[in-house]
Amino acid sequence: MTRDRGTETQRSQVNGSVTPWLCGLVIIVSLCLGGASQAYAQPPLPRPEAPAASPDFLTHYNFHLSVDALSIDDPRFSWQTHFGGDVDLVDYVVGRANILMDYEAVLGDQLRLFDPNQGNYTLEASASLRAGATEIAGMLHHVSRHLSDRPKNFAIAWNVVGVRALRRVTVGGATIDLQGSAGRVIARAYVDYTWTGDADVVIRQPVNAHVGVFAHGLGELFGVDPALAGRDTQRGGRVEGGLRLNGRAGAVELFAGVERRVDADPLDRQRQRWIFAGFRFVSQ
């Protein structure tokens, strides 16, 4: 979910700078415990990128493949996986156009040892403008949720039109990527969502050219129509930390954390909380 293309940060050594970690961890804990919500597992988001020197085509791409083992006393939830990526189609210096695609499979052990019981698709198109170190993007975000090996003859999906702000801060050799977005649900099927908001913080600290550590916090809010399901704004979140091992063409991240997930099953509108550990392959 994270990438660090800056060669200067890869050459940096740990220098005892704890200020960015303390500040970032406070933000992460506030996001995840103070009430952001996950109506599904948010896929990796586009990361802040330095502008191209001149207008160019296919300037950056990010790839991710992750597997989380879940610790929870519910046979529907044993594993969570993501596969996908995002591409900067055009960088026009003052901004960029990006497309993101992600497929999430959730596995339990109800019917067999590895039982993929749901598949969730995310598609997003965005275009941005850069204002100094901050990037402001307009986006169209689509999510659809499906069951596997189980009957379902109706759609579960929603579309969001919104805006996202991105910024990267470098402090004492560590990088802090900050993101926040808000949007209006313009189309929906089955779900009761009316608006969305999220915040995302990633802190990365290189140890040497091949090893680094990171912490990541994600939170979302989903406003709802109380007339549909008799509930109010949904809150939850995810926090993780781990080790990043950089190779020549990519990297692997080993991580663990905790997640509070709203509407974990597409149908029952119930929150679930689990501890997880996993690995993630990312492009370099």
User: pLDDT tens across 57-104, in order?
Assistant: 999 999 999 999 999 999 999 999 999 999 999 999 999 999 999 999
pLDDT of residue 60: 93
What CA–CA distances, in Å, run from 3 to 27, 38, 125, 185?
A: 20, 23, 20, 29
Q: How far apart are the first and last CA of the chain?
A: 11
Whole-number pLDDT of residue 236: 85
Report the chain's mean pLDDT, rounded to a whole number: 87
Q: Exposed e or buried b for every residue in 176-185, given b needs 16+ CB within 10 A?
A: bbbbbbbbeb
pLDDT greater than 60 at residue 34: no
pLDDT at 41: 55
- Nearest CA to 216 out of 181, 237, 240 is that of 240
Counting residues of the chain whose pLDDT is more than 90, the rounded percentage is 80
CA distance readout (Å), 142 to 6, 124, 197, 235: 31, 6, 14, 20
List 88's β-bridge partners, or say none. 60, 98
Residue 28 has pLDDT above 70, yes or no: no
pLDDT of 176: 95
pLDDT of residue 44: 74
Sequence length of the chain is: 284
What average pLDDT score do residues 176-203 get?
A: 96
Among 117, 57, 111, residue whose Cα is nearest residue 81: 117
Phi, psi (deg, nearest 5) at residue 9: -75, -30
Mean pLDDT of 29-54: 63
Comparing C-alpha atoms, which of 205, 238, 196 is closest to residue 44? Answer: 238
Q: Tens digits of per-residue pLDDT, 112-163?
A: 999 999 999 999 999 999 999 999 999 999 999 999 999 999 999 999 999 9
The answer, yes or no, to whether residue 221 has pLDDT greater than 60, is yes
- Name the pLDDT band for 7 (thresholds 50, 70, 90): very low
> Domains in the chain and their CATH numbers?
7-283 (2.40.160.40)
Which pLDDT does position 277 carry in this prediction?
98
d(CA 272, CA 260): 6
- Over residues 39-47, mean pLDDT: 67
Checking if the pLDDT of 227 tops 70, the result is: yes
| Nearest residue to 234 via CA among 203, 198, 210, 205 | 198
Grade residue 46 by pLDDT with cuts at 50, 70 and 90.
confident
Given a cut of 60, whether residue 30 has pLDDT beyond it is no
pLDDT at 38: 42
